[in-house]
Structure 1
Amino acid sequence: MSDLRVEFHTAALAQMRGLPDEALDALVVRVTDLLTEPWDAQVIGDDDRFRRTVFGGRGLVSFFLDESEHVVRIFDVTWAG
């Protein structure tokens, strides 16, 4: 699935404001990894297209994998640092 792209929902972008540099760097690394292995994340609920994964040891990123549009749609970013 190397032809995937990433889209950030407005809510996720707002959550990213003020994140420390270490969190942003870790998020970029994890999201980049998801572009090649989007299924390497925990399923959220009954629909396996909704997933969540850890980044930087203290963050969670939640996303929807839209295979028909070839996009990872990130809708939630949480940092507990």
Structure 2
Amino acid sequence: MKIKAPTFADLFAEISPQLGGARRTKFLETLDRIIPWQDLKSLIGPYYSEGKRGAQPYPLELMIRIHFLQLVYNLSDPMCEE
């Protein structure tokens, strides 16, 4: 029997009705206060793909935030895509 790992949608669907999304909102607000997103963006920006070849890359700040959530929730790349 194969057990499927929960997706972001599964995790947030569980807590949203119970908490009205308050816990998620508080967590994301805390991240905005303590993580220097713009500093990270300026450090990584020179090395980030400009999209001259292949598909256009996602905005850098979005990718930084996704990567951070991936680390916090121990998500694989396919789980983040879902």
TM-score class, shorter-chain normalisation, is 0.3 to 0.5
Q: Which has the higher contact order (CA 8 A, sep 6+)?
A: 1
TM norm structure 2: 0.34
User: Could you say which structure has the higher helix fraction?
Assistant: 2
User: Could you say which structure has the higher strand fraction?
Assistant: 1
TM norm structure 1: 0.34
